Amino acid sequence: MTTAPLPVYKSRFLKADRRTVIQAEGGQTYRTSFEQPARLDDIFIRPGASVQMDATGLTGQLLVLPIVGGALLTTAQTVETALLPGYLYTVPAAEAGSLVLTNPFEKETVNILLIQAPVPSAAAAVVQEFQLPLTEKNVLVAPDNPALPVRVGLYDSRVKGHIPALGLGGFSLCYVLNGSFEIEDRLAEHRDALLLWETAEIEFEALSETAILLYLEFGASS
């Protein structure tokens, strides 16, 4: 009797408290980055303040996802764009270097996630808006442009899920926006990140109520 070999997972795990912290006059950024060309900037903008985007080395597009509250986005070529929860925004790399995020509220801090990764350039060289509502629970939801490699899921406790295997050369990033998950036998808590590549199917389980998982996938080939 032969035994099938166990799957080999290539991964990097980064706890939230090991992220790089960048202090600025307008707010605070917690940066998640790995050797692969992907970076998450988790930005908290103080009431009435603004922050400038650091787009050094960015190609393709920048993905902007409001997490808590909204913000105003401006670039060299774009009049103010209102960023709203429930939507995903793409910013061409040529515009990202001049991107400014402003918190319009007088008393509330807002939380905006900036995703820098090898996303192909958009056909239009302008800021674009796509719906990404969490209206359905216990499933990873895609934006209304499914070509964008972003999925977000809101889960009840003890609900399990799986993500199909990546193709050759692909990598995926799981980022816990709220609560906690077990992902491939690793405990991933609030704002922890797990990068995987050349993996078999990814299995996960929500360990808390209203747990929210952000999933990104890049560079996979069939």
- Per-residue pLDDT at 23: 93
Whether 167 shows a pLDDT value over 80: the answer reads no
pLDDT average, residue stretch 47-53:
93
Q: What is the CATH number of the domain that holds 51?
A: 2.60.120.10
Q: Last residue of a domain, which of 90, 105, 131? A: 131
Between 217 and 194, name the one with better pLDDT.
Answer: 194
Q: Last residue of a domain, which of 66, 97, 131? A: 131
Same domain, 80 and 136: no
Same domain, 127 and 137: no
Domain range for residue 90? 18-131
- Per-residue pLDDT at 222: 43
pLDDT average, residue stretch 30-54:
88
In contact, 96 and 42? CB cutoff 8 Å? no
- Per-residue pLDDT at 56: 62
Same domain, 156 and 97: no
Same domain, 110 and 70: yes
Rounded to whole angstroms, the Cα distance separating 99 from 51 reads: 9
Rounded to whole angstroms, the Cα distance separating 37 from 47 reads: 32
Whether 199 shows a pLDDT value over 50: the answer reads yes
pLDDT band (50, 70, 90) for residue 200: confident
Q: What's the pLDDT tens digit per position in 63-120?
A: 999 999 999 999 877 678 999 999 999 888 776 667 899 999 999 999 999 988 766 6
pLDDT band (50, 70, 90) for residue 121: low
- Per-residue pLDDT at 125: 64
Same domain, 100 and 177: no
Same domain, 171 and 78: no
Whether 122 shows a pLDDT value over 60: the answer reads no
Same domain, 32 and 125: yes
Whether 17 shows a pLDDT value over 90: the answer reads yes
Same domain, 114 and 177: no
Rg (CA), the chain: 18
Please tell me the pTM assigned to this model.
Answer: 0.88
In a domain, 28, yes or no: yes
Whether 7 shows a pLDDT value over 60: the answer reads no
pLDDT band (50, 70, 90) for residue 123: low
In a domain, 4, yes or no: no
Q: Last residue of a domain, which of 131, 166, 181? A: 131
Whether 197 shows a pLDDT value over 50: the answer reads yes
Helices and strands counted in the chain (H then E): 1, 21
Whether 40 shows a pLDDT value over 80: the answer reads yes
**Domain tally, the chain:** 2
In a domain, 1, yes or no: no
Same domain, 95 and 148: no
Same domain, 48 and 127: yes
Q: What is the DSSP letter of 134?
A: -
In contact, 204 and 213? CB cutoff 8 Å? yes
Rounded to whole angstroms, the Cα distance separating 124 from 111 reads: 27
List CB contacts of 148: < 8 A, sequence separation 6 or more: 63, 88, 90, 119, 130, 142
- Per-residue pLDDT at 78: 67
